[in-house]
Chain A
């Protein structure tokens, strides 16, 4: 397993470089212009100068290595400089966003708190709710609980957030006036009251997002549990006189986790990809909003950096999932 992990990590490096190249070429090919959002009153000559100032005058084979250098050399240098007060970077150009003209990593760091609070929290909540629902639904298949769970999760999954989010706002912000409809990203939690406020502003977006996660994970959990509950080893375990809770929790759940682990592992990068529509609706302005604004504004450095970071996460999470398969089912061998 260790050699496998090591080999996979090594293979990841060329894989990621290739992914970076493909993403870059995709963005390069995609139509779109960072000047598109400028008013039409700005004349074409001025637009052209602005484009040149953004470095768009250079061909792709100059800009791609430049980005790679900035990402892998300059940015780490700045972190080291910040941490230890050294001066490795020596004023080298960092990755600069086209839109805000500021280093993209600063903006990404700024977006982390609300992304983790809302999207991350909703994911944790969603998974924590989904697992028991999935287990009970499968164990008591076609019970009232199972039917209700199926109904709610499928409705939840098929109602798009641009509708459910607005519906929640209309009910809880406009009619009842209980919850704020606009997320305050500058809010600092430092005492009980501010914590309550934070909970209030989080609850609606977290609910909308958690519903989606719950629906998905619980369906896979249920299906996989059902497959395993019928296996012979379950009968044997019961015959051996094991208590029902041990049979279910220790054997069946463990053996049912493979698809669930896959789904959860694939979901984690998407936390950092943010929840584009939900963030827009509640104005959480996390990474999802950053990415969509960057995409709409053809902010290539920003899009490139965020999608590449996501790619790193995806590769990492899939590696972790593969290792977990081996732990969950030791018969799986990679070597």
Chain B
């Protein structure tokens, strides 16, 4: 090990306080307006935000305007191609009634993408928030309080070691019927899947946050804050959390993608939603076999997932930059 201490410039204790403290240059402006101003300068983030609003409206308001029942089978109208194919190939079977085409049972693809997006987005967001909440809490607690570290990290090891599939099977066995009785078949399964994905994907976030917190709490500004008697709660919320925001943002983005994809893998294994509930992942999975004849069926859900993840990533980037003034200006 090289001697690295001398190379690290000692920070002036006073100026290096809370690095995320808002730089209130103009007194009339509040902190969040500032953040928003900074956020707006990030082109990717603005694009991401717009797309996210668009896709959210598309899946929520969309079905009100485009009121085709996604489960409605119309076998005579199966395998209709999307409308733009008709421009290139006049012999293709297209119909204005199904602008994105229909699947092999004649279900309207646009209605399915809308309906599937509702579930996928809901699963993605909820599982992501659950993951972040669990991961951050456990990570911060373990990193900050030494006496909790051992037990919390051993617990993390345990959950990491649990195989997801049998775990979900056991959860189905124990909780499906009570949840179905209490919330109805769809919501019951929804809760099960979200919780299942949530409780099995927080561990990485927890370990990363813990590692960062452990390093941070030995930094000078934390020592300084502690020396003036800052209570633990304020230490965590004011000094530590803002400084671990970057990895948390990355976890959030990756977590959203993972949740959407895990849900589709679960449907494939027979543990997901009933077959009459489309999700983006499931539409994509079901269409892979026909991807050479009907490329649109993989492109639509694939694009929807990718662009959603991409926009969340950019929003995360923009938000992180906006909240952390040090990064700007480099």
Contact = CB atoms under 8 A, between A and B. Distances in A.
Interface of A: 11, 15, 18-19, 22-23, 26-27, 29-32, 141, 147, 150-151, 154-155, 157-160, 162-163, 166-167, 170, 215-216, 219-220, 223-224, 226-227, 229-233, 235-237, 250-251, 254, 258-259, 261-263, 266, 269, 277, 291-292, 295, 303, 307-308, 310-311, 314-315, 318, 321, 325, 327, 329-333
Report whether over half of chain B's contact residues are helix, strand or loop; otherwise say mixed: helix
B74 interface: no
9 cross-chain pairs, A with B, having the tightest CB-CB distances, nearest first: A230-B326, A236-B9, A311-B161, A331-B218, A158-B309, A223-B246, A30-B166, A158-B257, A30-B169
Contacts of A23: 161-163
Contacts of A166: 288, 291
Contacts of A230: 324, 326-327, 330
Contact of A216 (B156, B162, B165, B254): B254
Nearest to B5: A330
A147 B309 CA distance: 15
Contacts of B284: 160, 163
B160 A314 contact: yes
A175 B305 CA distance: 27
Contacts of B302: 159, 163
Given A29-B170, A258-B215, A266-B207, A318 B161 contact: no
Interface of B: 1, 4-5, 7-9, 11, 16, 44, 150, 153-154, 156-158, 160-163, 165-167, 169-170, 172-173, 203-204, 207-208, 211-212, 214-215, 218-219, 243, 246-247, 249-250, 253-254, 257, 260-261, 264-265, 268, 281, 284-285, 288, 291-292, 298, 302, 305-306, 308-310, 313-314, 317, 320, 324, 326-327, 330
A258 B166 contact: no
A325 B215 contact: yes
A307 B285 CA distance: 27
A114 to B, nearest CB: 21
Contacts, number: 192
B310 A158 contact: yes
A315 B5 CA distance: 30
A147 B204 CA distance: 25
A163 to B, nearest CB: 6
23 contacts: A23-B163, A26-B163, A26-B167, A26-B170, A29-B173, A31-B170, A32-B169, A141-B330, A150-B314, A154-B310, A157-B257, A158-B257, A160-B284, A230-B330, A232-B16, A250-B7, A261-B211, A307-B162, A308-B161, A311-B161, A318-B207, A325-B215, A329-B215
